[in-house]
């Protein structure tokens, strides 16, 4: 059992959901304001860390 991989998986899905909502609230042009850009950037950075954990655990 890899608890770490499972946690990373869900955390990644939740971060993707945060990004999904930025796309929703900025539809249809997806021009992000400064606050949204910061939020998106943070989510993507965190997402990369979770993907790295998945790579470590599963490959």
Contact 55, 8 (CB under 8 A): no
The contacts of residue 17 (CB under 8 Å, 6+ apart) are none
Interface with other proteins (CB under 8 A), residue from 21, 37, 45, 58: 21
Query: Of the two residues 16 and 57, which places its CB atom closer to other proteins in the complex?
Result: 16
Q: What is the sign, positive or negative, of the torsion defined by CA atoms of 9, 15, 17, 23?
A: negative
Query: Of the two residues 20 and 49, which places its CB atom closer to other proteins in the complex?
Result: 20
Any contact of residue 38 with other proteins (CB under 8 A)?
no
Stretches 26-34, 37-45, 51-59: which one binds other proteins (CB under 8 A)?
A: 26-34
């Amino acid at each position: 059992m890899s608890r770490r991989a499972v946690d990373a998986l869900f955390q990644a899905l939740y971060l993707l959901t945060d990004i999904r909502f930025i796309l929703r609230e900025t539809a249809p042009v997806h021009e992000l304001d400064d606050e949204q850009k910061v939020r998106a950037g943070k989510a993507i950075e965190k997402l990369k860390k979770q993907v790295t954990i998945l790579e470590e655990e599963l490959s």
